[in-house]
Amino acid sequence: MRNRIIMAAVEEINLRGFKFTMSDLAKRLSISKSSLYEQFSSKDELIIAILDTVLNDFRAQEEKIYDSDLSIVEKLQAVLTITSQTFEPFHNRVYDDLRVTYPEEWERVADFRKDRMNHLTALLLQGMEAGSIRHVHVGVIQHMLNSTDYSSYPFLAENNMTYPDAVAAMLDILLHGILTRK
């Protein structure tokens, strides 16, 4: 039942943002509000459970990639293109809504992103040391990666792209450059 509630809450978030109510959610599920509160003591607890699910999903995927026998470049590509295996992608506006509505939870996302960047930076440096990635200014790469964050949804909307589309395009340019091969 908890998983069913979480999945329905994600649908509500994509539809209404974080302004959805527990009544909206109970209606979607065709259950009573008291049934919701048997599983989650509050909407805040439900939001935390959703965020835990998403972050744990990403961590598990990353750990599997980092522990694999893939090359450094393949690991870089794989880590940067991870998407949630638990939920359909959130609408781009949801991330800004989370930042405004649940700033403490947004801070957890920011901390997760910092940890992720630290792992990516270590992988880049390892690739440079091994010679599979040419020496470049790591700070510039970090800035490029940070600029593709979820808060860039106006850019994504204007260009009819999803976040994974933008990351894939950026990764293609990063790894293959802009020059044609002769």
Asked if 16 and 27 count as a contact pair (C-beta separation under 8 A), the reply is no
**pLDDT 10s digits, 45-77:** 999 999 999 999 999 999 999 999 999 999 998
Mean pLDDT of 169-173: 85
Q: What is the number of domains present in the chain?
A: 1
Domain-embedded: residue 181: no
Asked if 112 and 58 count as a contact pair (C-beta separation under 8 A), the reply is yes
Asked if 72 and 127 count as a contact pair (C-beta separation under 8 A), the reply is yes
- Residue 96 is part of which domain span? 2-176
Burial track 137-156 (b if 16+ CB lie within 10 A, e otherwise)? eeeebeeebeebebebbeeb
**Of 14, 36, 17, 34, nearest to 25 (Cα)?**
36
Q: Quote the CA–CA distance of 129 and 114 in Å, as a whole number.
A: 22
**pLDDT 10s digits, 89-119:** 777 678 888 989 999 999 999 999 999 999 9
Q: What share of the chain is helix, strand, coil (3-state, %, to 5)?
A: 75, 0, 25
Domain-embedded: residue 166: yes
Domain-embedded: residue 18: yes
Q: Quote the CA–CA distance of 2 and 115 in Å, as a whole number.
A: 29
Domain-embedded: residue 121: yes
What pTM, to 2 d.p., does this model score? Answer: 0.83
Domain-embedded: residue 182: no
CATH of the domain at 17: 1.10.357.10
